[in-house]
């Protein structure tokens, strides 16, 4: 697993283990440490899922405070497409429709929300660029990763990409519509027959990895963590598992210096880290 858990304030988060410069900050929240209740317990950061607005606002305030973010994250209205926004566009338009963002400006916090779809983080070897993409199967089919690489305006071999937690293949059965898009033999390893005619268990992370490799991205890593697990491995929200549920946030930004946040063991049932 190329990732580690860490605690900051009341939050338990995940960060990539990747060869990025120390000024690149990349974080994935878990569902622990917030004030949301019921199906959204406890650190839901999405406004569109039915959670109480005041709970989401309190969680977003806690996110900025406990992670010591330099600015309020630039929230996107995600539409499962391939649009990539710049900070200038988002500042001018507010929360705008897109599924990815990129920046070269230190202190600008980019974010996507997920609950089974894959967050994909980008930076370059010099730590001068940052990008984030929300990649479900529709976004992958539409070319959101390709669009994000173009927006970063760097040679692909100089880029690093890290694939965050997403739905496990064995819990993600898809129909013929996705196989029609990914019909070429190069995608065969991302699909395994499920026993139903025309349906297959689908590995979104594998599709993302193949796309990034085809683009020539210089370093590709993955958390190797799933969102759909059952039992006490309940770190992340999963729409496929729960239906009504919250969303985790994946954030990336550029800054100077290094804070050295200590790593912690993942939270377990009965832990004081649990809400």
Burial class (CB in 10 A: 0-12, 13-18, 19+), 54: exposed
Q: Report the CATH number that the domain containing residue 153 is assigned in CATH.
A: 3.60.140.10
Q: Please count the structural domains in the chain.
A: 1
Q: Is the pLDDT of residue 94 over 90?
A: no
> Of 24, 20, 33, which Cα lies nearest the Cα of 264?
33
Instruction: Report the DSSP beta bridge partners of residue 221.
Output: 162
Q: Domain range holding 84? A: 3-254
pTM metric for this prediction: 0.92
> What pLDDT does residue 11 have?
97
The answer to whether residue 272 sits within a structural domain is no
Greater confidence, 257 or 124? Answer: 124
The answer to whether residue 261 sits within a structural domain is no
CA distances from 14 to 157, 175, 188, 248, 264 (A): 26, 31, 30, 11, 10
Burial class (CB in 10 A: 0-12, 13-18, 19+), 269: exposed
Residue 119 and residue 98 in contact, taking contact as beta carbons nearer than 8 Å: no
> Of 167, 159, 160, 103, which Cα lies nearest the Cα of 140?
167
Instruction: Report the DSSP beta bridge partners of residue 6.
Output: 13, 263
The answer to whether residue 263 sits within a structural domain is no
The answer to whether residue 43 sits within a structural domain is yes
The answer to whether residue 64 sits within a structural domain is yes
Residue 96's pLDDT band, with cuts at 50, 70 and 90, is confident
> What pLDDT does residue 89 have?
84
In tens, the pLDDT along 230-243 reads 544 579 999 998 98
The answer to whether residue 260 sits within a structural domain is no
The answer to whether residue 269 sits within a structural domain is no
In tens, the pLDDT along 13-72 reads 999 999 999 999 999 999 999 999 999 999 999 999 999 999 999 999 999 999 999 999
The answer to whether residue 44 sits within a structural domain is yes
């Amino acid at each position: 697993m190329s990732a580690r858990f860490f605690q900051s304030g009341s939050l338990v988060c995940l960060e990539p283990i990747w060869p990025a410069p120390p000024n690149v900050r990349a974080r994935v929240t878990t569902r622990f440490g917030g004030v949301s209740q019921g199906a959204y317990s406890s650190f839901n950061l999405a406004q569109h899922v039915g959670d109480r607005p005041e709970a989401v606002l309190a969680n977003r305030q806690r996110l900025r405070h406990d992670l010591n973010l330099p600015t309020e994250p630039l929230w996107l209205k995600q539409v499962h497409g391939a649009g990539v926004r710049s900070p200038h566009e988002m500042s001018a338009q507010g929360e705008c429709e897109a599924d990815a963002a990129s920046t070269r400006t230190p202190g600008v916090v980019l974010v996507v929300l997920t609950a089974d779809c894959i967050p994909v983080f980008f930076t370059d070897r010099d730590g001068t660029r940052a990008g984030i993409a929300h990649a479900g199967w529709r976004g992958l089919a539409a070319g959101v990763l390709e669009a994000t690489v173009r927006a970063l305006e760097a040679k692909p071999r100089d880029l690093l990409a890290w694939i965050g937690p997403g739905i496990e293949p064995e819990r993600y059965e898809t129909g013929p519509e996705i196989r029609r898009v990914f019909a070429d033999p190069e995608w065969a390893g991302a699909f395994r027959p499920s026993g139903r005619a025309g349906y297959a268990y689908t590995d979104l992370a594998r599709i993302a990895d193949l796309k990034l490799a085809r683009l020539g991205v210089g370093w590709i890593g993955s958390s190797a963590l799933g969102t759909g697990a059952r039992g006490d491995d309940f770190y992340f929200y999963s729409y496929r598992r729960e239906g009504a549920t919250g969303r985790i946030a994946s954030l990336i930004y550029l800054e100077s210096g290094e804070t050295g946040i200590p790593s912690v063991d993942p939270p377990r049932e009965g832990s004081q880290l649990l809400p």
